[in-house]
Structure 1
């Protein structure tokens, strides 16, 4: 079994995700398909996460893909959190993940006083409202739910809307004055295809994960997807039996990547650093159990200060070298101290900043 050094692992992972080695993808849908969804609690960082991986794209193009072309859709998927996924992946991911996160949410629903009868009534209110009125904001749906006794303040309305989405009945639709709206999924995406089911779906998701995130371990996949570790290990065995895995050692841990990516193991590094401005909660920063290979230990708190927060990172050849925040359409960058002695870093940062400005520009 071949042992990989840290630089080799970062090169494979960043190339797989389109954030290193000079790799980018051609369209928003191609990017999202490759990384199997972009975490999207906040729409703007999610769009930047797509933009940093995609050639010659703007925020307007991402919105077009979501609202006009409808090749992308935003709803609750991996880990039970909001993601943008491709419409082609929508139904099978919902069928695989929705029931699990509904089960895991049952206790919280009970704590909020949301019994099954009230949940069912709320689901009817939400779907009837969308059928009659079309796209509706969370505030508008909360007002309608108040008529059946759901408090306007608190988390109850949010959990009822999320529950309806996890059941495959609604999803996010067009934004209105900067606010997200919900729509009936069957109306918004009537032609969304089906896909693999059962164990085949778990194996397919693991295959897709390894294509983008490998080398990785089953425990990484379980944490990223929200599926049980036992299911992850079964998927690994299935892929191994079919000859699809190449086993490697990463910091004394058994990991794997897809065998058809093995030819990337010995690619020479680029002559200049590849700098990307990752948004907060980027896939690269949440896709593994440990951030030891992506964030220097001395600066871990700068990226992960605690409380579940993950800050935007200046990524240089797969390693976080600083943080940034948007300011007047540009990046306000703070490099870790001392600044890394990386030849060409200043030019790489300037190019990444220009790319961000181009992505965010308003027509």
Structure 2
């Protein structure tokens, strides 16, 4: 049975947040974590920075806009996430029907009946074909042609509906503001296609590659899928011999842990094993995570990564999740930035050991550097 420290160290290592692990590019970071929480665009960029080695804000923007290797959209739990572009379509096909169904009551409250939503999808496709990329305000202006009031939540829900139905996705930023583009124009159409069961198993495998040790309940919380679906995915992976259990927690077994390797692929000779998690380093591995980071949201409980006595400082209520400082995967402080990142204040839960404090100073400098270039 794994103890709490071992679970935390393995999870942080899987997320490229401990053990000295850092990825070389924004695409590599996103591929490793499967999906990066992105309702705050700068926080998402800072999440990539925390997991990368010397990654600049310009490199992140290039990955989104020039390489188009990563893309932002409504995926897990109907919340904005960044995923690898090649994964966008199959993840959307798996998750969007349930998100749309769960939003039905809100559509009804806003008077957005099915025919109106369909006409809005058609209109947004037309205006993006002619005028795109367009900002949310610009799309809202076009939606008034359907009698949609420009204020309130209706325009947002229609834009989000068009994203969930595969009409549009986030495109290049303009003067710091997100724009939207046609999905079919922005991303290549040659990505992997899965039927529902294969897609469900693949998403579960990707989750475990990025978050294990974890359980089916954790996967359900992270994905927003029903627990019955999560258990079904676990069953598929177990039948394929792709997972091993240690009490209530599960890890990937052997070749199933390779990035992009499907769980139902045929066996091959000389199958490589999952890499071993490195031993705890002598020097602490300190990372400054942004608000709403995956590492704090991907599990049913929080006790492994944030001490119970300090959870209210990270989750103060009102849907807020504050930026945190990790030392070897354990939250030891919160932090805040002001003046576009030029001023950063760290609020430790307790006095920091000298080596941790020194590493925090290095992270503060790097966050300031990143934010300055981002601005």
Name which of structure 1's ranges 270-279 and 189-198 shifts more when overlaid on structure 2: 189-198
Secondary structure, aligned partner of 2:103: helix
Question: Counterparts of 2:76 and 2:277 in 1: how far apart (Å)?
Answer: 32
- Runs of 5+ consecutive residues of structure 2 not aligned to the other structure: 258-272
1:146 to 121, 144, 147: 144
Question: Counterparts of 1:187 and 1:265 in 2: how far apart (Å)?
Answer: 41
| Structure-to-structure mapping, 1:1-363, within 5 angstroms | 3-249=1-247, 254-260=248-254, 267-328=278-339, 329-330=341-342, 332-340=344-352, 342=353, 344-362=355-373
In the TM superposition, what is the alpha-carbon distance from 1:360 to its structure 2 partner?
2.9
Secondary structure, aligned partner of 1:295: coil
Name which of structure 1's ranges 353-362 and 39-48 shifts more when overlaid on structure 2: 353-362
Secondary structure, aligned partner of 2:102: helix
In the TM superposition, what is the alpha-carbon distance from 1:331 to its structure 2 partner?
6.0
Per-residue Cα deviation, 1:199-258 (whole angstroms, up to 9, x for no partner)? 011101111100110111101101101111111101111111222212113xxxx11011
In the TM superposition, what is the alpha-carbon distance from 1:306 to its structure 2 partner?
1.2
Question: Counterparts of 1:316 and 1:274 in 2: how far apart (Å)?
Answer: 6
1:336–1:248: structure 2 CA closer, same or farther, 3 Å change rule?
same
In the TM superposition, what is the alpha-carbon distance from 1:359 to its structure 2 partner?
2.7
1:86–1:265: structure 2 CA closer, same or farther, 3 Å change rule?
closer
Name which of structure 1's ranges 36-45 and 345-354 shifts more when overlaid on structure 2: 345-354
- Runs of 5+ consecutive residues of structure 1 not aligned to the other structure: none
In the TM superposition, what is the alpha-carbon distance from 1:358 to its structure 2 partner?
3.4
Question: Counterparts of 1:109 and 1:344 in 2: how far apart (Å)?
Answer: 53
Contact 2:342 2:372 in 1 (8 A): no
Question: Counterparts of 2:225 and 2:102 in 1: how far apart (Å)?
Answer: 11
TM normalised by structure 2 equals: 0.91
In the TM superposition, what is the alpha-carbon distance from 1:287 to its structure 2 partner?
0.5
Contact 1:303 1:311 in 2 (8 A): yes
Per-residue Cα deviation, 1:22-76 (whole angstroms, up to 9, x for no partner)? 1111211111011111111111000000111011211111110101110011111
Question: Counterparts of 1:192 and 1:170 in 2: how far apart (Å)?
Answer: 17
RMSD: 1.7
1:263–1:163: structure 2 CA closer, same or farther, 3 Å change rule?
closer
TM normalised by structure 1 equals: 0.94
Per-residue Cα deviation, 1:139-171 (whole angstroms, up to 9, x for no partner)? 011111112111111100000000000001100
Contact 1:136 1:182 in 2 (8 A): yes
Question: Counterparts of 2:154 and 2:202 in 1: how far apart (Å)?
Answer: 34
User: How many matched pairs?
Assistant: 356
Secondary structure, aligned partner of 1:162: helix
Contact 1:12 1:265 in 2 (8 A): no
Name which of structure 1's ranges 255-264 and 197-206 shifts more when overlaid on structure 2: 255-264
In the TM superposition, what is the alpha-carbon distance from 1:309 to its structure 2 partner?
1.3
Secondary structure, aligned partner of 2:159: helix
Question: Counterparts of 2:174 and 2:313 in 1: how far apart (Å)?
Answer: 34
In the TM superposition, what is the alpha-carbon distance from 1:16 to its structure 2 partner?
0.3
Per-residue Cα deviation, 1:302-326 (whole angstroms, up to 9, x for no partner)? 1001122111001111111111122
Secondary structure, aligned partner of 1:24: coil
Question: Counterparts of 1:19 and 1:190 in 2: how far apart (Å)?
Answer: 31
Contact 1:58 1:360 in 2 (8 A): no
Contact 1:91 1:192 in 2 (8 A): no
